[in-house]
């Protein structure tokens, strides 16, 4: 996602960049399998094939059964969180000449977006969610496990589907 947002925000040499648009889907604690589908493209190359969704006015996916969804417009390029000195430097600006990532895995980036609309979220059909009361609380990912205000049994890894 970070690569797509950065590419959408980058300007070709002869034209100003178009504002990158995105939808932030706020999943419920009943949806760790949905989160895993989108977190593991190596295991789930087409996560939308098995995830009920509608499209926003801009054609972006709003996931069914989510707690909420926010349409947003990216307002600046990303800030590299592996180089906190670049965040402190007043003259640096986003993507401003900081250190390159040389650690293991993927470097974290911070994107700032303006909420342009609160989306209407499609509801799952009767009996489709099987949420055990978890459909009204947010899904969190903390210390490599899905949780809400308590750990979620059986869904503690993004490897689960």
Domain boundaries, the chain: 2-10+18-77+112-125+135-147
CA 41 to chain centre: 14
Instruction: Note the pTM of the prediction, 2 decimals.
Output: 0.74
Beta-bridge mates of residue 53: 63
pLDDT value for 105: 54
DSSP the chain: -HHHHHHHHSPPTTSPPPPPEEEEEE-BTT-HHHHHHHH-TTT-S-GGGGS-EEE-TTS-EEETT-SEEEEEEE-S--EETT-HHHHH-TTT-TT-S-PPP-SSSPPPEE--EEEEEEPPPPPPPTTT---TTGGGSB-EEETTEEESSSB-TT--STT--
**CATH class of the domain comprising 2-10+18-77+112-125+135-147:** mainly beta
Output the tens digit of pLDDT for each of the chain's 161 residues.
Answer: 777 787 776 656 566 656 789 999 999 999 999 999 998 889 999 999 999 999 999 999 999 999 999 999 988 878 777 666 665 664 444 544 555 656 565 567 888 899 999 999 998 875 555 556 787 889 998 888 888 876 566 655 555 54
In the prediction, which pLDDT does 48 show?
94
Select from 160, 140, 159, 161 the least CA-distant residue to 151. Answer: 140
pLDDT at res. 96: 47
């Amino acid at each position: 996602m970070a690569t797509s947002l950065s590419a959408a925000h980058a300007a070709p040499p002869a034209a100003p960049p178009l504002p990158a648009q995105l939808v932030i889907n706020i999943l419920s604690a009943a949806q760790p399998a949905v989160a895993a589908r989108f977190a593991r493209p190596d295991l789930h190359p087409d996560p939308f094939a098995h995830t009920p969704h509608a499209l926003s006015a801009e054609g972006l996916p709003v996931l069914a059964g989510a707690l909420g969804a926010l349409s947003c417009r990216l307002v600046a390029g990303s800030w590299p969180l592996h180089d906190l000195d670049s965040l402190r430097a007043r003259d640096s600006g986003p993507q401003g000449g900081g250190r390159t990532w040389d650690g293991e895995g993927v470097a974290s980036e911070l994107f700032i977006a303006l909420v342009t609309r609160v989306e209407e979220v499609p509801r799952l059909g009767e009996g489709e969610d099987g949420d055990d009361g978890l459909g009204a609380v947010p899904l969190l990912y903390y210390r490599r496990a899905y949780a809400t205000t308590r750990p979620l049994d059986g869904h503690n890894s993004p490897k689960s589907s």
